Amino acid sequence: MPYQIDNRPADTRESLYFPEIFRAIGLVVKTFWRNAFFSRDPNTDILERDRSSNRVTTLQYPEEKAPYPAGYRGLHRLVPRPDGSPRCVACYMCATACPAQCIYIEAAEVEGDPIEKYPKQFVIDELRCVVCGFCVEACPKDAIRMDTGEHPAPTYAREGQIYDLKRLLRGPPVSYEKDPWLVRPSRLTDAALKADRAAARPYGTQGTDEYTQTPGFSVRELAAEAKARGEAK
């Protein structure tokens, strides 16, 4: 219990009002002194703030943003290849998995390639999206992620909430060892290709869910811990 409520009647000293008010004034003056004369620790993690002098816990929102927890499902992005084109191969897995049916894909054939497709248009209606993350789970190519840590920006018109390929395709590119463009001849220049191959991750050992994409956070480790505690099989 944070407060001990004491319902005894006020004693003589307390019924004089003033002594207690003076003490309380002292308290407020101390708080004022701390907050007015010392600078605020702008740490966005409020619980980690140094509150020894200034005790303000305000977060100046648009300028300072609180860090989201690991695995937070933010605004979608289409993961680019190193050459800037989307990793997406327009397989419709995400659109099929989506319970809100908010993904619209228009597939097209890659010129000169007998099998590969690419999305000519890829639209997500963020107003319909229920932020379940199934699209990320469903993607076999790790081409759609929710690791931006942002919200869809507020807009005055509904049209602003419809994100097309142009707006979705952003963020750092991701490569895997068995990516076809690293194996087969590609549009990348030799130097870029070499660098990309060096940065490529082995495919298959990485999950595609957003938890495993966050550094230092692993669902598998969590599961192992739970297993060790006997909470899960």
Based on CB atoms, which residue is closest to other proteins, 58 or 205? 58
Mapped to the 3 state alphabet, what secondary structure does the chain carry?
A: CCCCCCCCCCCHHHHCCHHHHHHHHHHHHHHHHHHHHCCCCCCCCHHHCCCCCCCCCCCCCCCCCCCCCCCCCCCCEECECCCCCECCCCCCHHHHHCCCCCEEEEEEECCCCCCCEEEEEEEEECCCCCCCCHHHHHCCCCCEECCCCCCCCCCCCHHHHEECHHHHECCCCCCECCCHHHHCCCCCCHHHHHHHHHHCECCCCCCCCHHHHCCCCCHHHHHHHHHHCCCCC
Based on CB atoms, which residue is closest to other proteins, 61 or 114? 61
Q: Tell me the closest approach of the beta carbon of residue 10 to other proteins, in angstroms.
A: 11
Q: Tell me the closest approach of the beta carbon of residue 47 to other proteins, in angstroms.
A: 14
Q: Tell me the closest approach of the beta carbon of residue 126 to other proteins, in angstroms.
A: 27
Q: Tell me the closest approach of the beta carbon of residue 50 to other proteins, in angstroms.
A: 13
Task: Classify each residue of 64-85 as buried b or exposed e, where b means 16 or more C-beta atoms within 10 Å of its C-beta.
Answer: eeeeeeebbbbbbbbbbbbeeb
Based on CB atoms, which residue is closest to other proteins, 42 or 149? 42
Based on CB atoms, which residue is closest to other proteins, 32 or 68? 32
Based on CB atoms, which residue is closest to other proteins, 23 or 233? 23
Based on CB atoms, which residue is closest to other proteins, 21 or 224? 21
Q: Which residues bind other proteins (CB under 8 A)?
A: 1, 4-6, 8, 11, 13, 16-19, 21-25, 28-29, 31-32, 35-40, 55-58, 60
Q: Tell me the closest approach of the beta carbon of residue 39 to other proteins, in angstroms.
A: 4
Q: Tell me the closest approach of the beta carbon of residue 114 to other proteins, in angstroms.
A: 56
